Every structure is written in structure tokens, then in C-alpha cells.
Amino acid sequence: MSAEGFETLQREAVFEGKVVRLYVDKVRLPNGEEAEREVIEHMGAVGMVALDEKGGIYLVRQYRHATGEELLEIPAGKLSPGEAPIDCAKRELMEEIGFEARDWEQLASFYTSPGFSNEMLYLYLATRLEKGQASPDEDEFLEVIHVPLGEALAMVDRKEIKDAKSIAGIALAVLHVRHQYPSHM
């Protein structure tokens, strides 16, 4: 179904923070009825599967306040206003795990939770890695973990990795690697 027949009648800003803005919209539905929709506006984000020449990837373990637990994730970060996703990916890869990548391939882009948010997430495969110096943000406390790509997929299967972008990134990287680098799988 297209946007045809849907009309935003009124938008009220309820909250404006550093990461998100929350709106309550009054909308007209295709049947003529009115309804409210809560909308979270987000600048967007990136996630990177950093694959080394031996078939290993880098994950970060960090506490996520919203979940109340530590999660294993691929390196990732929020877009800055006006920042291109690939530039953000390069910046975040260096900040979080201390690597540059010579080769970048976009694996996917998708809405993370389109029922209430416009956040677009861009996933990349970063290869031909070169070591640099990590410099996480002051409020980031990360443990960098290196695992074979196949083991990362097994960790998804064992439900040890619960983060959606990481699950998608690892699965897409496995598909890519099976075609491009069969010796890594």
C-alpha cells in the first residue's frame, strides 16, 4: 500500500534529545478516520562487519542501558548531521576498534523499526584492514573481541548475539564471503 490516502493533519513535538526527537502526529487514514501515530525521528546509523584476511571479524561488548545488559555487536555509530554514511562508517571503525579499511562494500540499508521510527541503518563490509589507534567516545566503554566469521554466525544461532544490526550484518557477510572468499567459510 502506498502513502496515498494517508495525510498528516498535525504534528506535535513531545521530546527533543541528543539522539532522537519524538512527535505525536494526528493522521487521516485512507478510510477517512483520524488516528494518532507516535514517531521517533533519528539521524540514522551505520554498522560495519570488519573482516580481516584470515576470516575473522571484530565485535564490541558494551553495556546498553535500554536493555539492561551487555551486548555483543558489530562496530556501529550514529550519523552526524549532514554526514555521509560511508564517512560515518570509516570514522566509527577507527574510533571503536582502531582500524581503517581499504575496501568498503555496502551490504544493505534498512529501517530499523518502521512502525514508529524513521531510523535508516547502513551496513558495510570493511576489508583489507590496517591497524590504527582506537579512540572511543568518553561515554563508551567497549571491549573489542575478535572471532572467526563462522563462530560469529554460531553465536547468533546460540542467541549470544541479540542485536538486530549485528545479526543482519553477520548473516549478510557470511553470504558475501561464501561467494567471494570460500576459503574463509
Residues with a known catalytic role: 138
Q: Do 45 and 83 contact (CB within 8 A), yes or no?
A: no
Question: Which helix or strand (DSSP H or E) is residue 11 part of?
Answer: strand 7-16
Question: Which helix or strand (DSSP H or E) is residue 59 part of?
Answer: strand 56-64
Distances in Å between the alpha carbon of 151 and those of 7, 8, 63, 93, 155? 47, 47, 22, 21, 6
Provide CB contacts within 8 A for 25, sequence distance 6+.
8, 9, 10, 11, 12, 36, 37, 38, 39
At 37, phi and psi to the nearest 5?
A: -130, 130
Provide CB contacts within 8 A for 99, sequence distance 6+.
50, 58, 93, 126, 129, 130, 131, 132
Distance between CA atoms of residues 78 and 161, nearest Å = 20
Q: Do 134 and 96 contact (CB within 8 A), yes or no?
A: yes
